[in-house]
Homo-oligomer: A and B are copies of this chain.
Amino acid sequence: MTKKPAPVMTADEVNDLFRQVFPQLNKDRPDYVVTEVFSGGCTIRLNAAYEHLRPGDTVSGVSLFALADLGGYACVLSHAGPDALSVTTNISINFMRKAEAGPVDGHCRILKLGRSLMVYDIEMVAGPDAEIVAHATGTYSIPPKRS
């Protein structure tokens, strides 16, 4: 098995960093919260409320994409270090099942942590049976270390 990279930040530290550098994210309430950081990945939760729903009263694709994108951001921050200027280069997302309002858990896994790129995937599960509602794969570009 591929050796898993070790994290350099905790879940709380990532949530704090989100608050400082990304005030637009959780304006009124903690909508998106990193719940765990572990070697080679992290878990992030969307507390889906009315604002996250789309026609049909299911969690919108945009809200699930945000979970996927932030899950990758939490992975890159926690494993490559707290440089907020890492940016997404691409994400491919599949929507499998409808999710109702309530928690959606995103299980993120780093597939490759290179010097300039991180590739990861995220499985998003929700509901009483923890069914997979969406799955995404993405790449973050890591800026060169400043010295």
Q: What residues make up the interface of A, taking CB atoms closer than 8 Å to B? A: 1-2, 21-22, 24, 50-56, 60-62, 65-66, 69, 84-85, 87-98, 111-112, 116-117, 119, 121, 129-132, 135, 137, 139, 141
Contact = CB atoms under 8 A, between A and B. Distances in A.
Nearest to A61: B88
A131 B69 CA distance: 23
Nearest to A130: B1
Contact of A1 (B24, B92, B111, B129): B129
B69 A56 contact: no
Contacts of A54: 22, 24
- The quantity of this chain's copies bound in the complex is 4
A54 to B, nearest CB: 6
B95 A92 contact: no
14 contacts: A1-B130, A1-B131, A24-B50, A24-B52, A24-B54, A87-B95, A87-B98, A89-B94, A90-B93, A90-B95, A91-B93, A94-B119, A94-B137, A139-B139
A24 B54 CA distance: 7
Contact of A135 (B53, B95, B137): B137
Contact of A84 (B55, B116, B137): B55
